[in-house]
Amino acid sequence: FLMFSGLFATVAAQDKIVLGFSQVGAESEWRTANTESIKNAVANDPRIELKFSDAQQKQQNQIKAIRSFIAQGVDVISFSPVVQTGWTTVLEEAKAAGIPVVLTDRKVDSDESLYVTLVGSDFVEEGRKAGAWLAQAMNGQANIVELQGTVGSAPAIDRKAGFEQIIQHFPNLKIIRTQSGDFTRSKGKEVMESFLKAEGENIDALFSHNDDMAIGAIQAIEEYGLKPGEDIKIVSIDGVRGAFEAMIQGKLNCTVECNPLLGPQLVEIVKGVVDGKEFPKYIPVKENIYVQSQAKEVFSERKY
Ligand code: GYE
């Protein structure tokens, strides 16, 4: 019997760590790069096996996926929460089942005892960087329209707050219209069309919470007969390839980097959690801002 249990213990030790990951969706270039980074990092690690689920930007789908991970008895659950609120119940269920939870990308407003850590970007800081760039580029004077991200999501709330922290110091920088474009190109285009219809050439600048919506808006501006990047200055966030292409064409002025390549960090954290390591509640990701004049030079080094 002792021999057998020894054998089982060895087999168990070699068992893979099963990671259940619930992704927000596939709403943007950023998200696609993020998903790829996570899948590749796991594929390159012999210790981890991934169960991946796409929630199509719906919180109920994420809750369902997390409950199914709990029912399957995965070793670690990870997810990028589409919105900030409404997670406490399902996080308590994971805790009761003894399954640790690692948040990626977006934060939740639940008690921090319900998760191990959050690995992600500082969205308030990104909003501040966008605001500071625009204030300087417009000499402190502009009528701004704002395309917000998904309503209730951490990046939409925090990027808006950070941007406003900066522009409030400039009495002639005004947000004249603001609406959500749900982080997608098609919605960004649609909402920009409605801004143009209402305000026309009164618009001096656009602050878009992500590059995809800015790219949609660029189309709307061109169809309206104005020059994006010139008649309307544009700053957005993410730093995806599409943004660099738009900058090279002179149609986008600035992008604030938000690094989606979290996969390798996530893999290290997941293994650490299983090995009993301690983590701080927040692990930041490094990032930069890029302006039009650097775009060509930097483009070839971009990995997303
Ligand atoms: O900026 C946007 C994506 O949560 C940081 O989600 C992420 C955001 C990113 O849809 O493009």
Q: Rounded distance, CA 237 to CA 130, Å?
A: 8
Residue 31 Cβ inside 6 Å of ligand 1? The answer reads yes
CB atoms within 10 A of CB 224: 18
Probe ligand 1: pick from 31, 153, 159, 185, max atoms within 8 Å of CB?
31
Residue 106 Cβ inside 6 Å of ligand 1? The answer reads yes
Residue 28 Cβ inside 6 Å of ligand 1? The answer reads yes
Q: Which atom of ligand 1 is nearest to the CA of 212?
A: 11
Q: Which atom of ligand 1 is nearest to the CA of 238?
A: 1
| Cβ contacts of 145 within 8 Å, gap of 6 or more | 175, 176, 177, 178, 192, 195, 199, 203, 205, 206, 207
Q: What are phi and psi of 49, to 5 degrees?
A: -120, 135
Q: What does the block give as tokens for 26? A: 């596939």
| pLDDT value for 11 | 47
Where are the alpha helices (H) located in 168-205, listed in sequence order? 185-199
Percent of the chain topping pLDDT 90: 91
> What does the pLDDT look like over 60-82, one tens digit per residue?
999 999 999 999 999 999 999 99
Q: Rounded distance, CA 178 to CA 241, Å?
A: 25
**ipTM beyond 0.95?**
yes
The two beta strands, 289-291 and 254-257, are antiparallel
| pLDDT value for 286 | 67
According to DSSP, residue 16 is labeled P
> What does the pLDDT look like over 108-164, one tens digit per residue?
999 999 999 999 999 999 999 999 999 999 999 999 999 999 999 999 999 999 999
CA–centroid distance, 212 to ligand 1, in Å, is 9
